[in-house]
Structure 1
Amino acid sequence: MKNIYLVGFMGSGKSTVGRILAEKLNLNFVDVDQLIEEEKKMKISDIFKKKGEKYFRELERKRIKDLSKKENLVISTGGGLGANRENIELMKKTGLVVWLDVSLDEIIKRCKGDKNRPLLNQPYENLKKLYDSRKPVYKMAHIHIKTDNKNPEEIAEEIIDVYLHRN
């Protein structure tokens, strides 16, 4: 089976939905952020502080390139990884790309007080600008699922329905 890539803004539920999806489809689950943290033995927020965002984005790019050579994976991408056109094109060639679309207000509610999300620690206007700038790339995904007011199980079932009808 081809991979399933979950893209979307931070806090959209990629990891939570991804774990459920992998379990239901009997596939392996990979969280790119977690992979990077384990490899570098540092939290993402520390990588941002010590090495910078550009360095982190390069780590993400390398990881997705490696993962795209494998199959039978459900992959939770970081919010910025799926907002990069080159990355999304690669993912589209090697699997099904699903955009978990959640409103900015819902993201803020879900992630309030989360110190592991370095890009959330900025004024609302800047966050909105970042959110809006990523949407055109997220829209390149094969599937677009609005996730506000849905629980992770419902979202996973919706993805499974589309996935099974495409393969």
Structure 2
Amino acid sequence: MAKTAHRLMSHLDGRSLVLVGLMGAGKSTIGKRVATMLELPFHDADYEIEQAARMTIPELFESYGEPAFRDLERRVILRLLKDGPMVLATGGGAYMNGETRSAIAEKGISIWLHAELDVLMERVSHRQNRPLLKRPDPRAFMEKLMAERYPVYALADIRINSRKTRRDVVARDVVRSVESYLSKSGNSNKGQLKNGKSDS
């Protein structure tokens, strides 16, 4: 894996690997494993937001509402992207912001961790820190989020199937897909348009 890390670093040209997807897709857990495999720093945007605000995500939602949270999220991600390369896990709604998507396209490689509804619900059902799911029918709301967000997530450079398997397996899927993506003509140069998709 050390050879893989060295090879990828030579082609990333300062860009970060940015994980996008719904809550429960495994962005933080898998992102940490990818960062370890590639010897890159790992950052979780939600954690960085909480540090900047000195409040938890649920507290931010309750005190200021979702629009204010999204604005802070956008500013934190733009700041983090300036310090690449890194592996960056973003919140589920971050990639929906056009300015954030543009910044990720310029300074990163976007990786959508795609997961089916049952997988997502199983992963998030026992957690209490999901303000968007604090409603009478969280499954129906998750389906609504999938309908709204999956077409936008599909704009990401790479798509990975985040399924019921060991997280290391999915992390290796990410690394292999990034290798494949970078090997395509035009993708190893910073700032060029990235149209290639890889689906593992």
What's the TM-score, normalizing by structure 2?
A: 0.79
- Of 32, 45, 60 in structure 1, the residue corresponding to residue 73 of structure 2 is 60
Q: Is the 8 A contact 1:101 1:145 kept in 2?
A: yes
- Of 2, 10, 27 in structure 2, the residue corresponding to residue 14 of structure 1 is 27
Higher alpha-carbon Rg = 2
| Runs of 5+ consecutive residues of structure 2 not aligned to the other structure | 1-11, 183-187, 189-200
**Match in the other structure for 1:129:** 144
The alpha-carbon deviation at position 148 of structure 1 amounts to: 1.6
The alpha-carbon deviation at position 94 of structure 1 amounts to: 1.1
What is the rounded CA distance, in whole Å, between the counterparts of 1:39 and 1:78 in structure 2? 15
SS in 1 for 2:92: coil
The two structures, once aligned, show a CA RMSD in angstroms of: 1.4
Higher relative contact order (CA 8 A, sep 6+): 1
**Match in the other structure for 1:159:** 174
The alpha-carbon deviation at position 125 of structure 1 amounts to: 2.4
1:117 aligns with 2:130: yes
SS in 1 for 2:101: helix
What is the rounded CA distance, in whole Å, between the counterparts of 1:74 and 1:144 in structure 2? 16
The alpha-carbon deviation at position 21 of structure 1 amounts to: 0.7
The alpha-carbon deviation at position 103 of structure 1 amounts to: 1.3
What is the rounded CA distance, in whole Å, between the counterparts of 1:75 and 1:97 in structure 2? 10
What is the letter of the counterpart of residue 179 of structure 2? L
Q: Identity rate of aligned residues, in percent?
A: 35
What is the rounded CA distance, in whole Å, between the counterparts of 2:92 and 2:30 in structure 1? 14
Q: Is the 8 A contact 1:84 1:137 kept in 2?
A: no
SS in 1 for 2:19: strand
What is the rounded CA distance, in whole Å, between the counterparts of 1:87 and 1:104 in structure 2? 25
What's the TM-score, normalizing by structure 1?
A: 0.94
The alpha-carbon deviation at position 85 of structure 1 amounts to: 3.2
Q: Is the 8 A contact 2:35 2:87 kept in 1?
A: yes
152-161 or 2-11, which moves further after superposition?
Answer: 152-161
1:72-151 mapped onto 2 (5 Å cutoff): 72-122=85-135, 123=137, 124-151=139-166
Offset from partner CA, 1:80-138 (integer Å, 9 cap, x none): 00233332222122111100001122111111131111111222323311221011110
Q: Is the 8 A contact 1:12 1:107 kept in 2?
A: yes
1:19-30 mapped onto 2 (5 Å cutoff): 19-30=32-43
- List, as ranges, runs of 4+ consecutive aligned residues in structure 1 with deviation greater than 4 Å: none
